[in-house]
Structure 1
Amino acid sequence: MTIVVGYVPTPEGEAALTAALAEARRREEPLHVVNTSRGDAFVDNRFVSEERLAQLRERLDGTGVVYEIDQQVRGHEASEEVVEAADRVKASLIVIGLRRRTPTGKLITGSQAQRILLDANCPVLAVKADQ
């Protein structure tokens, strides 16, 4: 079994990574980090740059947790990539970060987190970033 985490270089992504690492240690399972871009923009701040990727690897190397980083640019939504990765690695858990939304924003459907919660074939742990 494996823990899958949807990672973006934001406070929400960092919160998800921290929670996923804690779960991986507690369960003694490897970690599969998913970072993706649809590739439909010249700049995607949610896609980890080479420099940030090196920092991420350094952080993960220091934890003692076995991990794999999966970066894709295939034109799919992030939610699809996370759920697909979880199915592929037979995940025991998906960890995602949530951002605060306005009351109006909460009414809008189609968020990536909501898609993961609805489509995942395993439990999902959703965490909020410290404010």
Structure 2
Amino acid sequence: MNIVVGYIPSPEGLAAIDHAVTMAKLGEGRLVVLNCGTRGSDADPSFSEAADWDAVDQKLTSLGLTHEMRQPAQARTPADEILKAASDIAADLIVIGIRRRSPVGKLIAGSTSQQVLLDANCPVLAVKRPLDGS
């Protein structure tokens, strides 16, 4: 099973990693963890700093999971990068973290998650962080 997981340094990003790990263990899967800033900007808050990025890599290695870490610098949107990675590896699943939103915020879904959900050619698992924030 090939799994692409969109990661941002947040509780939602960690929830996506945790669920992707669970799915990979069930299906003896390969993970491709993708993190990028908007339009490839490493100043974007969604771009993972080296320490966080290395911690995710070390966690997956310690679990014995086959994985690849990607931080593309191209001028694409995060959704485009996730969809491209999924296409590149013929993904069986994409895992993304989503934020809880207010009633007004629900009118406008996150552009990345919305594009991935609508345009993916494979199943997408959208996960929320636990209510306690951990």
Task: Compute the TM-score of the two structures, normalised by the length of structure 1.
Answer: 0.93
State the match for 1:67 in structure 2.
Answer: 67
State the match for 1:86 in structure 2.
Answer: 86
Runs of 5+ consecutive residues of structure 1 not aligned to the other structure:
none
Shift of 1:19: 0.1
Q: What amino acid does structure 2 have at the position aligned with 1:95? A: V
State the match for 1:28 in structure 2.
Answer: 28
**Conservation of the 8 A alpha-carbon contact between 1:37 and 1:74:** no
**Conservation of the 8 A alpha-carbon contact between 2:40 and 2:73:** no
| Higher percent of residues as strand | 1
Change (3 A) 1:101 1:68: same
Cα deviation 1:49-68 (Å, max 9, x = unaligned)? 12222211111111111000
RMSD of aligned residue pairs (Cα, Å):
1.6
Secondary structure (helix, strand or coil) at the match of 1:16 reads helix
% identical equivalent positions: 43
**Conservation of the 8 A alpha-carbon contact between 2:39 and 2:78:** no
Please identify runs of 4+ aligned residues in structure 1 that moved more than 6 A.
none
